[in-house]
A and B are shown apart, each in its own frame.
Chain A
Amino acid sequence: MRLIPGLKIVAWTAALAPLALLLYQIYQFTLGLLILNDPVELIQHRTGISALILLFITLSITPLRRITGWNPLIKFRRLAGLFAFFYATLHAFSYFVFDHSMDFSSIWADVIEHPWVWVGFLAFLFLIPLALTSTTGWIRRMGGKNWTRLHKLIYLIAPMGVLHFIWLVKADVTEPVIYAVILAAILAARILIKPKTKSATAPIGRPTPRSTS
């Protein structure tokens, strides 16, 4: 069956495309071939939006699986989730480096003083344990139930990401509100569309690890 590996290549390519485009634009800018008004804002906005969209994709895998009944979709959830973490990390580090030159006291002062910063910072911190425990080994070690419980954090992280976006804009909240509406729709789908079969509730990235048992 060649379909899944093929789709994996497509998924990796799609997930890396925003980064590739961004790197290309920055490279052009450094050569003087492309005028960017604010390269740092571009980096921060693009990585932030990419993280948010990938979080949304992670959250919509289960509802989509229930709607379509196509269970192999679950094989893409970890990939989406880890890429969301990847972009969130780039986003956070672009803030640490460009806005604060890695000065931790200045980062801390900014985080505690400003709600939109701490909500984003906290969302990033919450993503870390999820990324670390995303391996099949950790799922086995923690046990499905505990693992599922921990990974419910994503229901907190995604709204925090949207809130971070809403709180940072000055007056026109149209764009972040669109993201809020999409997230609400995904979460509603998650609640309203009930699983059809028992197996569809399985939390595990690879339901049957390739062990010989």
Chain B
Amino acid sequence: MGRSLHGAPFRGVKQNAFKEHQTLQTVFWTFVTVGSPCQNNMLFKFKPEIPSSEITDEKLYNHRRQFLKAGALATIGGSLMPSSVLAAGRATFFKGPDDLTPYEVVTSYNNFYEFGTGKDEPKVKAARFKTDPWTVSIEGEVEKPKVWDLDELIDGFTTQEKVYRHRCVEGWSMVVPWNGFPLKDLITRLKPTSKAKFVEFTTLHDSRRMPGQLSQVLDWPYVEALRLDEAMNPLTLMVTGVYGKMLPPQNGAPIRLIIPWKYGFKGGKSIVKIRFTEKQPKTTWSQAIPREYGFYANVNPKVDHPRWTQAKERRLGEFTRRDTLMFNGYTAEVEKLYAGMDLRKNY
């Protein structure tokens, strides 16, 4: 069953993200398919072919700023969001199954301890966070380890908009239209050696820029990692934008990881280092509280967190809880990665 939503004209609610797009006056169709049988509840937004008028001139790709701008253009589908998003900021007793979480909520409800442990802190404390210039060091089992300028590293990738459910280990969830490119494209470019079995992502460690790091709530820097085959899954996304806009610092600018079938903490933010390894890397939360957070952290309603159930979740803005889906609803795409594994042990 596919639900298709026409790009209804935006009806002015205080949503700055849309105002900007509204001015572009682009007629566009967006299709959100939810729960189609072949996709097993997968949530995706498909864009029809981009009209030639919108195909961006190649020289625009020379600079990341422009790259991002172009990305926003390429995903102008986000300009005329389905009208369902408008309801998301209002009473939500009668909300549809997977409506987008409003931009304001996505960008002001953040677990980003580098900028404080309160969910509203990152937006305030990251307001002046500079992400240009930005380098990413590529290390470990790759053909050519190198410190890349971010613009060069992601040069040439076309951003896509992907609407994913985002499930936090704490029991809440959102639906977010991310802009980014599959991590597998980047990995292919970096050419890992045959020894590479894991990929590790390290967040910037600089307490002058990230004041939350002055407090030792976690062992900085924040490190997350994936098995190489998880990283190569087409769903795994390197994200540079949200809602067709540049990724705000509180969401992990300039570049972060999103793995939609795993709990949110797996998605490292403000990444400065990507390292390919033979052995399973030590990841921050699984080191901090091993009993509560494992390496895999797949969304799994049957495996509870020791302190709370994971069977249900609260979609932000809604009053009652809904059932959490196995692999956050992406079973068809990812279950083969875990064939034969005991997910109770490998939590």
Contacts and interface: CB of A to CB of B under 8 A. Distances in A.
Interface of A: 29-32, 35-41, 97-101, 109-110, 113-117, 167-168, 170-172, 174
A162 B88 CA distance: 34
B119 interface: yes
Contacts, number: 69
A172 B117 contact: yes
Interface stretch (B28-36, B225-233, B315-323, B331-339): B315-323
Nearest to A172: B117
B89 interface: yes
Residue in A35, A115, A167 whose Cβ sees the most chain B Cβ within 10 Å = A35
Chain B interface SS verdict (over half): loop
A173 B91 CA distance: 32
Contact of A98 (B90, B105, B288, B319): B319
A171 B104 contact: no
B314 interface: yes
Contact of A35 (B105, B113, B321): B105
Given A171-B113, A172-B217, A36 B317 contact: yes
Contacts of A38: 109, 172, 314, 316-317
Interface in B273-319: 288, 304, 307-309, 312, 314, 316-319
B341 interface: no
Interface string B108-121: 11000100010110
A81 to B, nearest CB: 30
Interface of B: 13-14, 89-91, 102, 104-105, 108-109, 113, 117, 119-120, 170, 172, 215, 217-218, 288, 304, 307-309, 312, 314, 316-321
Contact of A99 (B13, B109, B316, B321): B321
A98 to B, nearest CB: 6
B91 A30 contact: yes
A171 B319 contact: no
A68 B89 CA distance: 50
Nearest to A168: B307
B291 to A, nearest CB: 13
B321 A98 contact: yes
Contacts of B314: 38, 40, 98-99
A171 B218 contact: yes
A35 B104 contact: yes
A121 to B, nearest CB: 14
B307 A37 contact: no
B316 A101 contact: no
Contacts of A116: 307
Nearest to B89: A35
Given A29-B91, A110-B309, A116-B307, A37 B319 contact: no
Contacts of A117: 308
B319 A32 contact: no
Nearest to A115: B307
A38 B14 CA distance: 18
A152 to B, nearest CB: 30
Nearest to B105: A37
Contact of B217 (A101, A114, A115, A171): A171
B252 to A, nearest CB: 17
A158 B120 CA distance: 28
B304 A32 contact: no
B304 A113 contact: yes
Nearest to B218: A171
Contacts of A100: 321
B2 to A, nearest CB: 28
A32 B318 CA distance: 13
Nearest to B106: A37
Contacts of A110: 308-309
25 contacts: A29-B91, A30-B90, A31-B90, A35-B14, A35-B102, A35-B105, A37-B105, A38-B109, A38-B316, A40-B318, A98-B319, A98-B320, A98-B321, A99-B312, A99-B314, A99-B321, A101-B321, A114-B307, A115-B307, A170-B170, A171-B113, A171-B217, A171-B218, A172-B113, A172-B215
